[in-house]
Structure 1
Amino acid sequence: MLAISSLAPLFPGFTAPKTYAAYPVWADSTTKTVKFVALSKKAAVRLYHRARDFDRRTHEPGKHGGVVGRTALAVLHALLFDFLNYRTGRLDPSWQALAFKAGVAYSSVGRALKRLKALGMLFWLRRCTETHDADGRFLLKQDTNAYAVLPESQWLGYVAPPAPPPPAPGTWGDHPPLPDALTAAMAEQRHGGTLESVVRALESEPDNGVAAILARLGRAVQKAESGKSSGLSQ
């Protein structure tokens, strides 16, 4: 059977009718409304720094970058800091917009997104919208993907770096030793502290015998003053 288009040369001025795919979109595209999850800017910054650290710690000599790669990191940076709505979580840029903001080629965006998804760092949903053509026929139109940057607990092969050790005693950043109860009480008195604040400072170190005796003395003085005040009020 001859195709209609093959008849065109036999009839001058004949134009074969346009044909349309029933649904010219990706098979797994959804028309449902996507519910984005909000992500604060602080959390976005933390995720990006951990992704960069992940790439550095997996770098092998003689190779460009680690398991993430520079291009994928650039795309991730654009997603988190150029397109993510921190209040609503909306994240649905086009590939053209990603390529421009990340400073990479359009074809590189697809490879970068696939790498991020393979590592468990990114997930997306393909979306489409219902529409009609000029003749009123129902069509599905491809829309931009909806993205979600996943937490580091989902990243393939990621191990959180160990916490840095505390500063050595006496070095910059080390916490100064707390003053003993007697020193703290003297400081309170010197700076015009009340009897109550001085007694509390003495009671902060119950194992200090001298401080404990002075604290009891201070409480006795408070009790005596309280009794005098009650007698005067009567």
Structure 2
Amino acid sequence: MNTGEAAERGSFFKRIDGVVNGARSGGSQVDRKPIRRNSLRAGSCEGSFWRRTSRQDVQKVLMAARHYDRANKGHGKRNGPLGGIALEVLALFANLVNFKSGRLDPSLDYITEKLCRSRDAVVRALKALRDHGFLDWLRRFEPAPHEGRGPQVRQVSNAYRLSAPKRALALLGRWAGRPAAPDDDQAARRDRAAMEAEHVKTLDLAGLAAFKIEDSDLAKALSLMGKAIDLRESAKRTEYQSTSYSYAGS
């Protein structure tokens, strides 16, 4: 590269820096807000950031956040470390995320409008979610063509990604798909017990055996026994109903 090319290349990058800092190449002030630090070009940074997810995984993040907020609420405090608005934001994101691609990039204006919350309140909620490990994001910019010399860019919405820290997933016990960590919080234990009780109500004898017994062979044997009992009870009911109809018709 000769001296002229090097000078031209250096001049180009200086103009780029000027745009990112909110100034035109000639030094005149730009009418738009400056690009925020650490912003990446939209369309070039999300591929390794967004991850495929599922409704079950997203609901797990929501449940973990609620339990975490409740378990870490200080005595006499109205809210936990996340707060009600942060949980509202998380619930909104759970409805917006694309399960197949992981895409999640609502604008701040969209979030505030949907939740009917102030901009400052939403910004604080987003920060709380990120600080406690339930959310991460990338700042992004995109080209914005304009008349005149020099490139121009503008800030666009962040790319968001939901997550759940291990300490929060531990509060879910078996519902997190992993053994429960020791937990002295009585409220969290009551919540887990209530969730398990609701689930157990939906199980037949075979499913109950598989749910309760850790030993797979024993669970399989009890499951088969449970199915046999269910079939026998079903046959008895059918026979009883048939006999009742016969008596009623005679």
What TM-score range do you get, normalising by the shorter chain? 0.5 to 0.7
Match of 1:160 in 2: 171
Output one character per residue of 1:82-109: Cα deviation in whole Å (capped at 9) or x when no partner: x211121100111111112233211111
Provide the C-alpha distance between the structure 1 equivalents of 2:92 and 2:224, rounded to a whole number of angstroms.
50
Match of 1:24 among 15, 19, 34: 34
Provide the C-alpha distance between the structure 1 equivalents of 2:75 and 2:33, rounded to a whole number of angstroms.
48
CA distance 1:103–1:64, change in 2 (3 Å):
farther
Q: Which amino acid aligns with 2:57?
A: A
What runs of 5+ residues in structure 2 fail to find an aligned partner? 1-26, 175-191, 210-221, 237-250
Match of 1:59 in 2: 73
Provide the C-alpha distance between the structure 1 equivalents of 2:224 and 2:153, rounded to a whole number of angstroms.
73
Q: Is 1:74 the counterpart of 2:104 in the alignment?
A: no
Match of 1:45 in 2: 59
Q: Which amino acid aligns with 1:126?
A: R
Provide the C-alpha distance between the structure 1 equivalents of 2:202 and 2:109, rounded to a whole number of angstroms.
49
CA distance 1:23–1:30, change in 2 (3 Å):
farther
Residue 120 of structure 1 and its aligned partner are, at CA, apart by: 1.3
CA distance 1:51–1:23, change in 2 (3 Å):
closer
2:74/2:80 contact within 8 Å kept: yes
Match of 2:101 among 88, 96, 99: 88
Identity %: 24
CA RMSD of aligned residues (A): 3.5
Provide the C-alpha distance between the structure 2 equivalents of 1:22 and 1:75, rounded to a whole number of angstroms.
27
Structure with greater helix percent:
2
What runs of 5+ residues in structure 1 fail to find an aligned partner? 1-16, 192-234
Greater gyration radius = 1
Q: Is 1:143 the counterpart of 2:156 in the alignment?
A: yes
Q: Which amino acid aligns with 1:40?
A: S
Q: Which amino acid aligns with 1:72?
A: A
Provide the C-alpha distance between the structure 1 equivalents of 2:85 and 2:92, rounded to a whole number of angstroms.
11
Provide the C-alpha distance between the structure 1 equivalents of 2:147 and 2:132, rounded to a whole number of angstroms.
43
* SS of residue paired to 1:71: helix
Provide the C-alpha distance between the structure 1 equivalents of 2:81 and 2:92, rounded to a whole number of angstroms.
19
Provide the C-alpha distance between the structure 1 equivalents of 2:102 and 2:71, rounded to a whole number of angstroms.
29
* SS of residue paired to 2:105: coil
Q: Which amino acid aligns with 2:120?
A: S
1:68/1:116 contact within 8 Å kept: yes
Match of 2:119 in 1: 106
Alignment of 1:1-16 (within 5 A): none
* SS of residue paired to 1:101: helix
Output one character per residue of 1:13-59: Cα deviation in whole Å (capped at 9) or x when no partner: xxxx9533999201210113411212111211121011111111122
Instruction: Number of aligned residue pairs: give it.
Output: 163
1:41/1:86 contact within 8 Å kept: yes
Output one character per residue of 1:117-172: Cα deviation in whole Å (capped at 9) or x when no partner: 1111111100001233222431121111001111332x6x76424456788xxx99
* TM-score, structure 2 as length reference: 0.55
Q: Which amino acid aligns with 2:85?
A: T
CA distance 1:100–1:179, change in 2 (3 Å):
closer
Could you list the structure 1 runs, at least 4 aligned residues long, displaced by more than 4 angstroms after superposition: 161-167, 171-180
